[in-house]
Amino acid sequence: MKEPQSFSRVAQPIRNFAQRFAYVGLVVAAFALMMLAKVDTILVERARTHMTDAVAPILDVISRPIDTVNQTVDEVQALKNLYDDNARLREERNRLLHWKSLAEKLEAENRVLKEQLNVIPEREASFVTARVIADTGGAFSQSVIVNAGARDGVEKGQAAVTADGLVGRVIDVGSRSARVLLLTDINAKIPVLVDPTRTRAIMAGANQSKPRLTWLPPSAVVTVGDSVVTSGHAGVFPPGLRVGQVAAVGEGGMIVQPYVDLSRLEYVRIINLGMGGILQLPQRSIGPADGLPGSSVKTGGGGQ
Amino acid sequence: MRPTFWQRLDTFARHLTPVALTLVLVILNVVPTHIPGIARVLPVLPLIAVFYWSIHRPHLMPAPAVFLIGLFQDGLTGAPMGLHALIFLAVQGVVLFQHKFFMGKSFFVHWLGFGLVGAGAALLSWGLLSAFYVTLFAAEAIAFQYVMTVAAFPLFAFIFSRWQQAFLKLD
């Protein structure tokens, strides 16, 4: 339908003005939202959780073929290195057998000593194994989304680990998905101990590949190669989880190389302290030991 | 002749595709690739889409849609809510402001334009993040992400132009 000339002459500037007004309004709204996110985190995070939860099934489906391709590539590579791996593993097995006998002896000794001293036993921990369905790592934030949520027993604040060590902490829980803040994120501040001196420190992420140690006591002596474990202070993480190794000490601070390759996460275990046996673990087949209901690990062991 | 109901539905569906494609890119952007190193600084794919459609089909990429795409990106990536909404809106604002300049220009001019606008967006995001966390934010990751995004531009601009040829030629 054709508009009369005079009408459009009047209407066009009004429409332009309205559009510009809407644009400015949206910019202001985005800015206001950032301010709100800074002040009232709960409201904004709830919106985020709903959004993630809604998209989780899509991500779950899309990430599967990519995982399959990756597994195939890994398998082909494994075939290529079969002979070398075998030799290396035999050697490692011999060494580990020695350690095993030592560990058994120490465990027995430890048990006896603990009984004599009436040590209060650490709480048992159970875990949920979840698949990583989104890797939102980038310059802006370092987190992953996993396909287990509140219905699987995941709760905010639980620690996420792999066999290699600590991954991060659950920060958002939807009904079927949860977000794990990686230890490299700028918001991640983890109380740790630096072995062998048992020096307390806070490991802080900076959205870079390696976190740094901060808040060390002035007299602390940290050298390259020292191992970093969670201290369990502040009650967020169970104590004794392997985190990483001190990679550099110098002008730029003390840099920690995490044991876990955070860019290649496929499955993470979410540790649930003190709820052993109550949890209904999800039916997700991943390796024989991981998915068994009722499987539990000692606190601090983290299944490593 | 008035278009029939089905014709209008068809046009409507076609008109939705730029925004829908951009939302798909937001999701694709966070799918784990397990590529060591690269995975941590993936290009910001929706930025390319917002830039491209704002030049070629601005009426199919309205500001409220850009705002929602930004929110969706923030929600999924875990960035502070509103950050990408603001960045995408800023990019769109610049493109629309310079729309006459971009119209009918060659691909390389668009790429160069994206390089400039993207640099502005990277700088803006660095400033906003630094303000948000009240600390000097690590600039390397953002700089690297910017380079990756500019490098990814030709591929996605090509895909969008094919899409435009196939489905949105008449608009």
Contacts of A276 (CB under 8 A, 6+ apart): A123, A124, A125, A126, A296
Q: What angle do CA B67, A183, A77 make, to 5 degrees?
A: 95
Q: Are A203 and A211 in contact (CB under 8 A)?
A: yes
Q: What is the pLDDT of residues B85-132, one digit of tens each?
A: 999 999 999 999 888 888 888 889 999 999 999 999 999 999 998 888
Contact yes or no for B31 and A31 at CB 8 A = no
The domain in which residue B86 lies consists of 42-167
Tell me what the mean pLDDT of segment A30-52 comes to: 86
Distance of CA A13 to the CA centre of its chain: 53
Q: Which chain B residue has its CA at the smallest distance from A37's CA?
A: B81
Q: Which A residues 217-256 touch B at CB under 8 Å?
A: none
d(CA A303, CA A85): 23
Q: What angle do CA A192, A303, A227 make, to 5 degrees?
A: 30
Q: Is A144 helix (H, G, I), strand (E, B) or coil?
A: strand
Contact yes or no for A209 and B77 at CB 8 A = no
In the block, residue with structure tokens 């006998």: A101
What's the confidence (pLDDT) of residue A290? 40
Residue B48 belongs to a domain = yes
Q: Which A residues 71-130 touch B at CB under 8 Å?
A: none
Contact yes or no for A62 and B31 at CB 8 A = yes
Of the candidates B25, B19, B5, which has an alpha carbon nearest to the alpha carbon of residue B156?
A: B25
- Nearest-CA distance B150 → chain A (Å): 15
Q: Are B88 and B66 in contact (CB under 8 A)?
A: yes
pLDDT exceeds cutoff 80 at A285: no
Q: What is the pLDDT of residues A127-183, one digit of tens each?
A: 889 999 988 767 778 889 999 999 988 988 888 999 889 999 998 899 999 999 999
- Confidence band of A262 (pLDDT split at 50, 70, 90): confident
- Confidence band of A289 (pLDDT split at 50, 70, 90): very low
What's the confidence (pLDDT) of residue A304? 33
- Nearest-CA distance B112 → chain A (Å): 23
Q: Which residues of A177-205 are buried (b: 16+ CB within 10 A; e: fewer)?
A: bbbbbbbbbbbbbbbbbbeeeebebbbbb
Q: Which A residues 62-81 touch B at CB under 8 Å?
A: 62-63, 66-67, 70
d(CA A214, CA A192): 10
What's the confidence (pLDDT) of residue B1? 63
Amino acid at A60: D
pLDDT exceeds cutoff 80 at A7: no
Please tell me if residue B95 touches chain A, with a CB cutoff of 8 Å: no
Residue B30 belongs to a domain = no
Tell me what the mean pLDDT of segment B49-63 comes to: 91
Contact yes or no for B89 and A261 at CB 8 A = no
- Nearest-CA distance B157 → chain A (Å): 22
Q: Which two tokens stand for residue B16?
A: 């939705």
Reading phi first (left if > 0) and then psi (alpha if -120 to 50, else beta), residue A23 is in alpha
Residue B8 belongs to a domain = no
Which candidate from B32, B67, B71 shows the least CB-CB separation from A134? B32
Residue B28 belongs to a domain = no
Tell me how far apart the 2 most distant CA atoms of chain B are, in Å.
62
Residue B9 belongs to a domain = no
Contact yes or no for B64 and A22 at CB 8 A = yes
- The residues that bridge with A168 in the sheet, in sequence order, are A160, A182
- Confidence band of B2 (pLDDT split at 50, 70, 90): confident
The structural domain count of chain B equals 1
Contact yes or no for A141 and B78 at CB 8 A = yes
Percent of chain A at pLDDT > 90 equals 22
Q: Are B99 and B58 in contact (CB under 8 A)?
A: yes
pTM: 0.79
Residue B32 belongs to a domain = no
Task: Give the helix/strand (H/E) hosting B68.
Answer: helix B63-77
The per-residue DSSP string of A82-138 comes to: HHHHHHHHHHHHHHHHHHHHHHHHHHHHHHHHHHHHTPPPPPEEEEEEEEEEEE--S
Which candidate from B42, B72, B86 shows the least CB-CB separation from A27? B86
Q: What is the pLDDT of residues A95-130, one digit of tens each?
A: 999 999 999 999 999 888 888 888 776 666 788 899
d(CA A35, CA A79): 53
Q: What is the pLDDT of residues B24-43, one digit of tens each?
A: 999 988 888 777 655 556 78
Q: Which chain A residue has its CA at the smallest distance from B90's CA?
A: A27
Q: Which chain B residue has its CA at the smallest distance from A49's CA?
A: B75
Residue B18 belongs to a domain = no
Q: Are A86 and B55 in contact (CB under 8 A)?
A: no
Range with the poorest average pLDDT among A221-225, B16-20, B92-96: A221-225
Which candidate from A29, A62, A261 shows the least CB-CB separation from B27? A62
Residue B22 belongs to a domain = no
Range with the poorest average pLDDT among A92-96, A299-303, B10-14, B15-19: A299-303
Percent of chain A at pLDDT > 70 equals 85
Of the candidates B71, B77, B87, which has an alpha carbon nearest to the alpha carbon of residue B19?
A: B71
pLDDT exceeds cutoff 60 at A286: no
d(CA B59, CA A233): 55
pLDDT exceeds cutoff 50 at A80: yes
Tell me what the mean pLDDT of segment A199-209 comes to: 86
Q: Are A162 and A265 in contact (CB under 8 A)?
A: yes
- Confidence band of A4 (pLDDT split at 50, 70, 90): low
In the block, residue with structure tokens 């000339």: A5
Average pLDDT, chain A: 81
- Confidence band of A298 (pLDDT split at 50, 70, 90): very low
Task: Give the helix/strand (H/E) hosting A166.
Answer: strand A166-173
Distance, first Cα to last Cα, chain B: 18
Task: Give the helix/strand (H/E) hosting A21.
Answer: helix A5-39
